[in-house]
């Protein structure tokens, strides 16, 4: 069975500081990993996916199959980055069902 672990419930940094939100997964096959973000009073939305290999809002994430990790990073955090971040895994097959972690609440202080 697949599992996604986000070890930090809360993460607080100062504006301009680097930020890393950790995500580890457990899955025997070849996974597809995503980061979703939920800003205050907004719906859950896709931030980025590993197959795109792109930077969104300054965030990047690299899939490390050896360490089964997909950590989200940003070199200089901004106050508007404050939100709930969820890591999610799609197991193989055609159903596109996602398994989510419990989320990390990021607070960027001025």
Site for another protein in 75-94 (CB under 8 A): 86, 88, 94
Mask 7-36, x = binds another protein (CB under 8 A)?
A: --x---------------------------
Whether the CB-CB separation of 79 and 108 falls below 8 Å is answered with: yes
Least distance CB 46 / another protein (angstroms): 5
- C-alpha closest to that of 50 among 25, 28, 75: 25
Segment interacting with another protein (CB under 8 A) among 23-31, 54-62, 66-74, 98-106: 98-106
Angle value at C-alpha 32, between 34 and 41, nearest 5 degrees: 20
Q: Which is nearer to another protein, 43 or 66 (CB)?
A: 43
């Amino acid at each position: 069975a697949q599992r996604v672990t986000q070890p930090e419930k809360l993460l607080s940094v100062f504006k301009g500081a680097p930020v890393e939100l950790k995500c580890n997964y457990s899955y025997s096959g070849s996974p597809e990993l995503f980061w979703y973000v939920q800003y205050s009073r907004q719906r859950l939305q896709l931030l980025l996916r590993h197959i795109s290999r792109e930077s969104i809002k300054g965030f990047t994430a690299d899939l490390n199959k050896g360490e089964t990790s997909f950590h989200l990073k940003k070199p200089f955090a901004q106050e508007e980055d404050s939100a709930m971040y969820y890591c999610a895994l799609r197991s193989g097959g055609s159903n596109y069902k996602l398994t989510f972690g419990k989320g990390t609440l990021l607070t960027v202080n001025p």
